[in-house]
Amino acid sequence: MKITFILPGFTRFPVGGYQIVYQYAGYLSSKGYDVEIIHAMFLPTQEKPGIKKKIIYSVKSFLFALHLIRPWFQIDSRIKVLNKGKILTKDVRKADRVIATAWETSEFVSLLPSECGEKYYFIQHYETWGGKERVDKTWKLPLKKIVIASWLKKIASEMQEEAVLVPNFVEQNNFFVTKPIKDRTPTISMLYSEHEIKGSNLGIQVLKMLKNKYPNVHIKLFGVFEKPDNLPEGTMYYQNPSRKVLRDEIYNESSVYLFPSVSEGWGLTATEAMACGAALCSTDNGGVDDFAVDGESALISPVKNAERLFKNLERLVIDDELRNKIAVNGQQNVLKLTFDSSAHLFEHAIDLA
């Protein structure tokens, strides 16, 4: 049984959506399926790439070929990986299943001949930054849809489209409690990103408000980007931390995890932090709906509302009893999100189990 995943290019830095695809591909490979991953930088359904994009791709390809760029995720060695500049129909092998993993690749997959396999669309976000009208049309394509979150399934239903829900998971072998929840000092952690949709500027604004009022609070930020200049005084910043550093030095040292996203397909770092015992303080970004309940396993405020987010964060800092309750309930919730369960659901969703 041959399965092909098509991703929109390759990335030098960790990306949650790519990681999920790699992990499911590895699971399927371990079950004996013949799996191939294609990183397609330029698609015939997209605008012709400019010279700048072509140069960037050529440089990336050259550095990868010389092993000067190390992969950030170790893909199962049994999986064939193709890095393509411009992908054409002839580059996609005859297979039993072909899976689009983003709105760009869904357009291309929809045009493939039937011998490339039964067609699926693995939807990890409502990617309206690609242009809402065009993205909505991809949800209507004759592809079998798989979504990672309940709010995405609701969107599919509103479009009168069927979709199978396969919730994401927590890597429980990597993210777990090593420091007792009740023993933690006031320490706030947050993912920093330059992408506006992640809400980092709002998060930094709120952290500054907190630091001004409670100078003894510790702040730890991490991300793939360079350390920004506008962080609160004394902030520790970790660039590209390993899973071990994330678990032991960031999440387990945190009493609260701040998650200020504007919109999120699935709150991957939120679940990691919760699994490590941090209480979740989040915006109502969609990506926490499947594991966070306001007042029970998280404190949730409207998106883009600094004052409400600050008040929730402050409550968790000054009220240890509330923080402990939120943290313990949150940890118990995300412990239900196992890789084996999600991987089996994914296998079933593509009609193989």
- pLDDT over 70 percentage in the chain: 92
pLDDT at 42: 82
* Residues 6+ away with beta carbon under 8 Å from 124: 17, 20, 101, 102, 147, 148, 265, 266
Lowest mean pLDDT among 33-37, 46-50, 72-76, 255-259: 46-50
Confidence (pLDDT) at 54: 60
- What does the pLDDT read at residue 43? 85
| pLDDT of res. 71 | 67
pLDDT tens per residue, range 103-144: 999 999 999 999 999 999 999 999 998 789 999 999 999 999
- Residue pair 347/28 in contact by the 8 Å Cβ criterion: yes
Q: Mean pLDDT throughout 313-325?
A: 98
Of 64-68, 207-211, 330-334, which range is least confident? 64-68
Q: What's 181-334's CATH class?
A: alpha beta
**What's the order of all strands across the beta sheet hosting 236-239?**
236-239, 218-223, 187-191, 256-259, 279-283, 299-301
Statement: 2-169+338-349 belongs to CATH 3.40.50.2000: yes
Average pLDDT of the chain, as a whole number: 93
What is the strand order of the sheet 80-86 is part of?
80-86, 34-42, 2-7, 97-100, 118-123, 144-147, 163-165
The one-letter code for the residue type at 310 is: F
Backbone angles phi, psi at 47, to 5 degrees: -60, 150
pLDDT confidence tier of residue 17, bands split at 50, 70 and 90: very high
The CA distance from 149 to 81, in Å, is: 27
Other beta carbons within 10 angstroms of residue 213's beta carbon come to 12
Task: Give the per-residue pLDDT at 245.
Answer: 98
Q: Which residue has 């929109």 as its token pair? A: 8
CA distance 29 to 74: 14
Q: Is the pLDDT of residue 224 over 90?
A: yes
CATH topology match: 2-169+338-349 vs 181-334: yes
Residue 233's pLDDT is 94
pLDDT digits (tens, 9 = 90+) for 262-298: 999 999 999 999 999 999 999 999 999 999 999 999 9
Confidence of residue 85 (pLDDT cuts 50, 70, 90): confident
pLDDT at residue 59 in the model: 63
More confident residue, 57 or 318: 318
3 state SS of 343: helix
Q: What percent of the chain has pLDDT over 90?
A: 84
pLDDT (0 to 100) of residue 130: 78
Gyration radius of the chain over CA positions: 21
Q: What is the mean predicted confidence (pLDDT) over 80-99?
A: 93
* Residue 350 vs residue 65, higher pLDDT: 350
Residue 60 has pLDDT above 70, yes or no: no
For residues 168 and 148, is the Cβ–Cβ distance under 8 A?
yes
- Whole-model pTM: value is 0.91
Q: If pLDDT is split at 50, 70 and 90, which confidence band does 64 have? A: low
Domain boundaries, the chain: 2-169+338-349, 181-334
Instruction: Say which residue, 37 or 45, is predicted with more confidence.
Output: 37
Q: How many Cβ atoms are within 10 Å of 307's Cβ, its own excluded?
A: 11
- Number of Cα atoms under 13 Å in the Cβ half of residue 91: 20
